[in-house]
Amino acid sequence: MEQQDASLKKYTLLVAATASFLTPFMGSAINLAIPSIGREFNSTAFLLSWVATSYILASAAFLVPFGRLADIVGRKKIFITGVVSFCVSSLLCGLAWSIESLIAFRVLQGIGSAMIFGTGMAILTSVFPPRERGKVLGINVATVYIGLSLGPVLGGALNHNLGWASIFYFTAAISVFVIFLAVFKLKGEWAGARGEKFDLAGAVLYAVGLVSFMYGMSSIAASPRAKYLLILGLALMIMFIRHEIKVAQPVLNIRLFTRNVTFAFSNLAALINYSATFAVGFLLSLHLQVVMGYDSQKAGLILLSQPVIMALLSPFAGRLSDRVEPRVVASWGMTFTALGLFVLSFITKDTPLWLIIINLVVLGTGFALFSSPNSNAVMGSVEKRFYGVASSTLGTMRLTGQAISMAIVTLLLAMYIGNVELSNASTDLINKGAKTAFVIFTVLCVGGIFASLARGNVNADAMQTKHNR
């Protein structure tokens, strides 16, 4: 029995970690291919930004509903369905015939990603006991950062030598390996809320409201009608919150936010962190290739310095959060990140390459110290029956933050560059847009330090929450 338990732990970690590698690899790899995609499809900078934004937005919109559905019907079922969807949509992305079709297939890829991330961390937390949680989540986060590390290098090399479509084919091949492992090696099923009712009305309000709000926000400079979508999205999200408070078995338990300080502020800190950091790779890829003139392969090697540090430090940060208050470790991480973003706000065409690399190392240190301790704080603050919801909520904060980050960049590119092809855009205007974005991100991250510190003592808060129930 003990041997079976050890085998299940080993394969669960392998499956979850490999799946966690997929989406960050895709995200960081495709950033290096953006200029190539733009040239092939003669696309504008605005549409190119939607290659990244459409995927993130779809992931964010469906993460909470799929997390809740996984708690009811089984996390393994939803996980495997997600990896299959991700695999098929990756192949379709590689076969895209226009920028519009690529964006559409990226939406499908985002939906598959939502199923993966709405369940992966919940399955890990279901299989491993609390005393091992920080270590395991640290390893899982490290694989995310390995994906981010290999993305620029391997993605840049694939794009340079085989074309941008090869990035999607490579991702599909890894997905097949994950499907095989999950089907044949993951024994058992995990459903903490089996038999409960799925809140379909809440899921629809949430998905439509979030997409409308984020699309309206990112398109407001390019389309005069976008403001109506922004207002509609805001109204739907208010309706969603009111609905969730009233319904007996909600898709998102709002009381987790109102009664659990640790859960609420840890998720807020994650939202702020990703809002302030995700678009950094996109902006630096444009800066290195369009402004400074490097090819995608060299740009990938330069960007490698950040995620390598993240991958090296994440297991250490995860173990540290098992012994030291996670809010302390995560707050230091947010501080390092704010410092790195502040330095980037002064970037120009003449900024020395060594300074950019040192700053990427600072950012990597900040990300590593924040991510796994913050995940540990979230998952340690709820009961087992809420693991799926907690995992998907944290994932939603991450993806919504990433969508906000890209929306800010999309808005600024539309304001500074306008609706012109990337190859014809002024490098000075691209640089001005990037610097403005980094100033906004720095201010956000400083606010995130206070959100991280405000969460209080994780263990004490979790105990109090369980006592109240």
Instruction: HSE, CB side, 13 Å, CA atoms: give it for residue 38.
Output: 24
Nearest to 399 by CA among 114, 17, 66, 106: 114
Q: Is the pLDDT of residue 462 over 60?
A: no
Residue ranges per structural domain of the chain: 2-183+194-198+251-468, 199-250
- How far apart CA 77 and CA 124 sit, in angstroms, is 15
* Lookup: tokens for 127: 């299989």
Pick the CATH number of 2-183+194-198+251-468 from 1.10.150.670, 2.40.170.20, 1.20.1250.20, 3.40.50.300: 1.20.1250.20
Residues whose CB is less than 8 angstroms from the CB of residue 236 and which lie 6 or more positions away in sequence, other chains included: 205, 208, 209, 212, 213
pLDDT of res. 440: 92
The answer to whether residues 283 and 437 touch, using CB atoms and an 8 Å cutoff, is: yes
Residues whose CB is less than 8 angstroms from the CB of residue 458 and which lie 6 or more positions away in sequence, other chains included: 262, 325, 326, 327, 376, 377, 380, 381
Model's pTM, two decimal places?
0.72
Least confident piece of the model among 171-180, 343-352, 357-366, 455-464 = 455-464
Q: What percent of the chain has pLDDT over 90?
A: 8
Instruction: Give 421's strand partners.
Output: 44
Band (pLDDT 50/70/90 cuts) for residue 154 is confident
Task: Name the burial class of residue 241, with classes exposed (0-12), middle (13-18) and buried (19+) by CB atoms within 10 angstroms of its CB.
Answer: middle
Per-residue pLDDT reduced to its tens digit, 155-189: 888 888 888 888 899 989 988 988 888 887 777 66
Q: Is the pLDDT of residue 425 over 70?
A: no
The answer to whether residues 372 and 137 touch, using CB atoms and an 8 Å cutoff, is: yes
Residues whose CB is less than 8 angstroms from the CB of residue 48 and which lie 6 or more positions away in sequence, other chains included: 34, 37, 38, 99, 422
- How far apart CA 182 and CA 232 sit, in angstroms, is 40
Greatest Cα-to-Cα distance within the chain, rounded to the nearest angstrom: 65
Per-residue pLDDT reduced to its tens digit, 228-258: 888 998 999 899 888 888 887 787 777 777 7
* Residue in the structure block whose two tokens are 């909520």: 393
Residues whose CB is less than 8 angstroms from the CB of residue 179 and which lie 6 or more positions away in sequence, other chains included: 80, 83, 84, 87
CB atoms within 10 A of CB 237: 17
Per-residue pLDDT reduced to its tens digit, 14-73: 887 788 788 778 877 887 788 888 888 887 777 787 887 788 788 878 887 887 788 787
- How far apart CA 20 and CA 121 sit, in angstroms, is 9
Looking at per-residue pLDDT, the higher value among 354 and 391 belongs to 354
Band (pLDDT 50/70/90 cuts) for residue 4 is low
Looking at per-residue pLDDT, the higher value among 397 and 166 belongs to 166
Q: Is the pLDDT of residue 105 over 90?
A: yes
Q: Is the pLDDT of residue 395 over 60?
A: yes
- How far apart CA 281 and CA 34 sit, in angstroms, is 11
